[in-house]
Amino acid sequence: MLSRRIIPCLDVRDGQVVKGVRFRDHVVMGEIVDLALRYRDEGADELVFYDITASPEGRSVDRTWVERVARVIDIPFCVAGGIRSVDEARAVLHAGADKISVNSPALERPELIDELAGAFGVQCVVVGIDSLRDADGQWRVRQYTGDPDKTQALARGTLDWMVEVQRRGAGEIVLNCMGSDGVRQGYDLEQLRAARAVCHVPLIASGGAGAPEHFRDAFQDADVDGALAASVFHSGAIAIPELKRYLAREDVAVRL
Amino acid sequence: MAVVLVDAGGTNIGSVRYALQRLGVEAALTADPEAIRGADKVILPGVGAAGPGMARLRELGLVELMRSLTQPVLGVCLGMQLLCAHSEEGDTDCLGVIDAPVRRFHEAPGLRVPHMGWNALAPVRPHPLLDGLAAGEQAYFVHSYAVPVGDYTLATSDFGGPFSAVIARGNFHGMQFHPERSAGVGARLLMNFLSL
């Protein structure tokens, strides 16, 4: 039986792992390879590196760290952030990443998803979606969420966008439910269930994990394939080995 | 020991190479027929689709060479499927050194294609390639096509029913999962291959 995946997400800026208190106040947490190895040893099933390095005018981001990670890490990893073209994706994949994840650039130009799937196969192409419920009760997509000053609410409905990205070649979808992100009150199960109903590729829950029960609920109530979290792992509030043993006791299929 | 990685495209070649380095083996990445013929071990990695994969082997003039190899050969993921007879993916005739078909997974409730993630391995017959592998140990899979269970199957995994996770016929071997991304289990199986 396929195991449910536990996926720590690490923010990377200029080749180091940082913790964003606010968008501009990042604290360096450590060397990327050291932290990647720590999570690997603790039993993470996969890692996501969210590259928040600002791209200088007309230059591509320095991603030599991807190769350093690929040399030492023997679990799959995905690189997200700032990938806007097939060429940029190719550089990241050839450096050793298993998957690339696109979010805002896919909203700017949805054909990017088709191009990436055509070039590398759907199994390499993850689409990240930031979603928030509006006052009228509808979930809609947000763009440029890396910077609160630039974040835009789009007219695009979250579930419609999920259907479209699958049609275009997304091999996996990470749904970040912004309403629950960072507050550790649990994943947005209602939204994840609605997403699950229209998502026929692997679905990863993101935003809201604060306790082991939240992971169980996402897997059992919303039937997601993986659960992504950042702060609860980085702070040590939840240790992955204990989390997985807990999930196994709750009859969630995990890799121990 | 000379180990070569056949450069038939695909983005996981670097990852396989690094995994071998972690085991202390420096593998040459090559499409040179003489280097491949003369190697002690030949690994055919691959991520992508069967049609382009076979087309690339034809362009490189490697189809007959690959079929004629007598040293241990390991196909990984798409590389394993290319060792088989025929793939439903693009209705592609493959190398045919292992007489097995490659069929698409069909979506079903609870079965999301691609089959992506960690799944348990179940050995079905003893083989040096599986030395030290305990039933239930997990490996990392990413694929939409699979080889059904047959007399070439060494280990199965289950995704809406059993399918071949490890296959072998003579000197040709295949792993459907990614040993280079399967933590300690993958390292052990790669080491087993290098020890054949």
pLDDT of A56 strictly over 70: no
Q: What is the pLDDT of residue A179?
A: 80
Give residues 158 to 177 of B whose Cβ lies within 8 Å of A. 158-159
Query: Structure tokens of A243?
Result: 């989390």
pTM for this prediction: 0.93
Residue A235 or residue A161, greater confidence: A161
pLDDT digits (tens, 9 = 90+) for A90-128: 989 988 999 999 999 999 999 999 999 988 888 899 999
Closest to B116 (Cβ–Cβ): which among A94, A123, A255? A123
Closest to A76 (Cβ–Cβ): which among B114, B115, B181? B181
Residues of B annotated as catalytic (active site), given as ranges: 77, 178, 180
Q: Helix, strand or coil for residue A189?
A: helix
Integer CA distances (angstroms), A142 to A10, A44, A150, A186, B154, in order: 21, 28, 10, 20, 48
Closest CA to A231 of A27, A5, A15: A27
pLDDT of B156 strictly over 90: yes
Point out which residues pair with A16 in neighbouring strands.
A13, A31
Q: Do A202 and B117 touch (CB under 8 A)?
A: yes
CA distance B75 to B179: 11
Extract the runs of DSSP E, i.e. beta strands, from chain A: 5-13, 16-20, 26-31, 47-51, 77-80, 99-102, 125-133, 139-143, 152-157, 172-177, 203-206, 226-229
pLDDT of B13 strictly over 90: no
Query: Structure tokens of A224?
Result: 């997601």
Residues whose CB falls within 8 Å of the CB of residue B55, separated by 6 or more in sequence, listed in order:
none
pLDDT of A129 strictly over 90: yes
CB B167 within 8 A of CB B174: yes
ipTM of the complex: 0.91
Strands A226-229 and A5-13: what pairing?
A: parallel
Q: Helix, strand or coil for residue B7?
A: coil
Which residue in chain A has the smallest CA separation from B121?
A1
Give the confidence band of A31 by pLDDT, cuts at 50, 70, 90.
Answer: confident
Q: What is the pLDDT of residue A62?
A: 78
